[in-house]
Structure 1
Amino acid sequence: MTNTTHLSDVRFSDLGLLPVIEKAVEKTGFEFCTPIQAESLPISLAGKDVAGLAQTGTGKTAAFMLAVIQHLLSNPLENHEARHVRTLIMVPTRELAIQVAKDAEVFTNESGLKIALAYGGTGYEKQKNAIAAGADILIGTPGRLIDFYKQKLYSLRRCQCLVLDEADRMFDLGFIKDIRFLMRRLPNPEKRLNMLFSATLSSRVLELAYEHMNNPQKVEIKADTKSADRVEQWVYYPSNDEKIPLLIGLIQKLGPKRCIVFVNTKRNAENIDDFMRGNGIDAVMISGDVKQNKRQRYLSEFEQGKHQVLIATDVAARGLHIDDVTHVFNFDLPQSEEDYVHRIGRTARAGASGESHSFACEDTAFYLPDIEKYIGAKIPMADVTSDLLPELNKPKRVQRDRVQGHNKAKSGKSGHGHNRSRSGGSKSDKQPSGAKKTRGPRRRRKPSTPKTDG
């Protein structure tokens, strides 16, 4: 297993890319490959399948997109019809689908290959029209992909490439039946190029790989965020009623230029958002219940520096690539050790330093030992002092739009949900002011199924 550094000593110019692809890469200014690119591209460019272990933010998109473009340009289809999708890329979340498409356009702009998106939440007719017009590369989440497939908007009968990105997350979100549904509509594995990337190569991920791929070669890249060398980490032990005052107190004291607050439930996200609004902190919130167009607008505004705080559930934040995030706050410790690494990796990007402040509260403190074991370090403890617990103004409640049932109503489909989410979301309880108790998520037993992280 290789330790991830920022770049390897392998140049893109050494990989034997087609001139049109080299030209696109040169325009990006990239010269050297990241480790996942350096190890997987020689395999996939040779037409062999890859099952890769790599974290978000390590250059996976370029790793599979360059191989896809090379394969499609080197193997043109005879009598090609617009309805025949040549590459299917499946991802777990809408944000990641949009991010992959954005990155893919950079590499395809010289090739003439057409890209289309399929994800839930918004843009139904726009996506439908783009796919109907013909797409060489179709990127999407499983539910919406199945919706359009059942409408016979596209065919997978002549598909030449398959990519599964963040396969472990698709298992977590319950997409495995949908993935298998689409895979069974593809040509036999030996007739296409297959690439799978995952933060873990667990037994269930490898089973999927070996069942639907052609003897894939494993490439394992150890995440550099696992040691978190550039992230200064702290853990606090607040009571539940101290969590929101502590969060706001830390933001007021530290004055982060741009920070992300991670939560386990949509209810907590909304509660924090209301308190931020009531106490003069410019924040936006993204969760599975926020309409897609709003989520994209909020993310864009946050990236542009228009908001100081982004409040996010893990599902909504998966695949985010935002520079200059100086602080990460784990309002709730995540149940998964992998998610902890993913969260703190949102800061200290591109060689910068960053800080992570985590709350080991009454409901989530028991996740901490496994997290510390996984990262191989004891997280230093910080005291919850009175100066970090300011008196808070009452929260400012707002009416929130919901997307529940939005896609089903539009598509008239059932059986394959478009907006599956494990980000939580229980019925709202009465929420406190800063001086009253803030109820956290109900304690849950750790899953009894075998661990897939680490």
Structure 2
Amino acid sequence: MKTIEFRQLKLDQSLLRILEEIGFNECTPVQAECLPLILKGHDIAGQAQTGTGKTAAFLLSTFHFLISSKLQENTNLRAIIIAPTRELAIQIHKDAEIFNRYSDLKLGLVYGGVDYEKQRAALMKGVDLLIGTPGRLIDYLKQGVFNFKHTEVVVLDEADRMFDLGFISDIRYLLRRMPKPEKRLNMLFSATLSYRVMELAYEHMNNPTLIKINPEKVTADRISQILYHVANDEKISLLISLLKCTNTTRTIVFVNTKRVAEKVW
């Protein structure tokens, strides 16, 4: 694939300045495929793994659109990014703060498990770009804290995980209360573009262009993989045994919840 530099794209100058400051000069493959199309106003359904630069792709597109479009008076919630987990929502918000360095857009972040009223109070002050998880977004929407009347950009990240975690009915609830697909810019990213993900895309997007970025290599050459079939109550003892019998100085243990992490620790 031909290398594309960010300065070759028609991005807002403030965004190009930020990219230069953080040392981003060339697009990753997913950015090179998606950005030119999105900047022309085309909807995108992209297949891309974590670590491919997809977050920067949809954040750059979102900020460019919001900065460049004419702002109507008394508008609220111009863009929304929906993530399946609070950890992902928090990370997207951190990245968004970087691209908001030279603009005065109001960013919002909502997710479950934290002070409900504090988040609600922040939203009541107004927000241009809201990042959040499905359940908490629906809670505030039903309360009338915000509405989608002026929503111009919609991003659905890790769409396949929305299905896996049982959020798809919530996603459809939110999307059906937004302006018609042709009245907004839509971006969907997923590790896989399965039938059910594409069904969602075609139902709630405006003739999206499909972008597939296949990882060059799934695992590194020097990494070996071993699968152990073990009962849940035996996992900790197996982990301890493996740590004792392997001659390692640094180890990373991945778990799927905070509770399990605390238990292992």
Residue 145 in structure 1 maps to residue 137 in structure 2: yes
Distance 2:115 2:21 in 1: 30
Which shifted more, 27-36 or 162-171?
Answer: 27-36
Residue of structure 2 equivalent to 1:380: none
Residue 178 in structure 1 maps to residue 170 in structure 2: yes
**Residues 91, 16 of structure 1: CA spacing in aligned structure 2 closer, same or farther, 3 A cutoff?**
same
Aligned match for 2:29, one of 27, 35, 46? 35
Structure ranking higher on relative contact order (CA contacts 8 Å, 6+ apart) = 2
Percent of aligned pairs sharing the same letter: 50
Aligned match for 1:73, one of 67, 80, 91? 67
Residue of structure 1 equivalent to 2:223: 232
Distance 1:237 1:166 in 2: 28
Residue of structure 2 equivalent to 1:411: none
**Residues 236, 221 of structure 1: CA spacing in aligned structure 2 closer, same or farther, 3 A cutoff?**
closer
Residue of structure 1 equivalent to 2:105: 113
Deviation of residue 237 (structure 1)? 4.7
**Residues 231, 178 of structure 1: CA spacing in aligned structure 2 closer, same or farther, 3 A cutoff?**
farther
The one-letter code sitting in structure 1 at the alignment partner of 2:199 is: E
**Residues 135, 230 of structure 1: CA spacing in aligned structure 2 closer, same or farther, 3 A cutoff?**
farther
The one-letter code sitting in structure 2 at the alignment partner of 1:131 is: L
Deviation of residue 185 (structure 1)? 1.4
Residue 89 in structure 1 maps to residue 81 in structure 2: yes
Distance 1:137 1:180 in 2: 20
Residue of structure 1 equivalent to 2:191: 199
The one-letter code sitting in structure 1 at the alignment partner of 2:226 is: V
Gapped regions of structure 2 (runs ≥ 5): none
Q: How does 1:245-264 map to 2 (within 5 A)?
A: 245-252=237-244, 253-262=246-255
The one-letter code sitting in structure 2 at the alignment partner of 1:42 is: P
Q: Deviations over 1:350-371 (max 9, x none)?
A: xxxxxxxxxxxxxxxxxxxxxx
Task: Report if aligned partners of 1:94, 1:119 keep a CA contact under 8 Å in 2.
Answer: yes
TM-score, scaled to structure 1: 0.55
Distance 2:210 2:247 in 1: 43
Aligned match for 1:50, one of 22, 44, 53? 44
Deviation of residue 242 (structure 1)? 6.6
Deviation of residue 35 (structure 1)? 1.0
Deviation of residue 80 (structure 1)? 2.8
The one-letter code sitting in structure 1 at the alignment partner of 2:110 is: A
Deviation of residue 204 (structure 1)? 0.8
Distance 1:46 1:75 in 2: 13
Distance 2:205 2:97 in 1: 26
**Residues 259, 62 of structure 1: CA spacing in aligned structure 2 closer, same or farther, 3 A cutoff?**
same
SS in 1 for 2:212: strand
The one-letter code sitting in structure 2 at the alignment partner of 1:235 is: I
Which shifted more, 8-17 or 153-162?
Answer: 8-17
Distance 2:179 2:23 in 1: 36
Distance 2:141 2:247 in 1: 50
Q: How does 1:54-453 map to 2 (within 5 A)?
A: 54-81=48-75, 84-226=76-218, 228-230=219-221, 232-235=223-226, 237=228, 240=231, 243-252=235-244, 253-262=246-255, 269=260, 273=263, 283=265
More helix by share: 2
Task: Report if aligned partners of 1:23, 1:110 keep a CA contact under 8 Å in 2.
Answer: no
Distance 2:230 2:109 in 1: 44
Deviation of residue 225 (structure 1)? 4.7
SS in 2 for 1:95: helix
The one-letter code sitting in structure 2 at the alignment partner of 1:260 is: V
Task: Report if aligned partners of 1:118, 1:139 keep a CA contact under 8 Å in 2.
Answer: yes
Distance 1:254 1:144 in 2: 45
Deviation of residue 46 (structure 1)? 0.9
Distance 1:64 1:239 in 2: 40
Q: Deviations over 1:106-153 (max 9, x none)?
A: 111112111101100013222112211111100001100010111111
**Residues 248, 70 of structure 1: CA spacing in aligned structure 2 closer, same or farther, 3 A cutoff?**
same
Deviation of residue 243 (structure 1)? 4.7
SS in 2 for 1:232: coil
Give the superposed CA RMSD: 2.3
Q: Deviations over 1:157-216 (max 9, x none)?
A: 110000000000001111111111111111111111000000110111111111111100
Larger Rg: 1
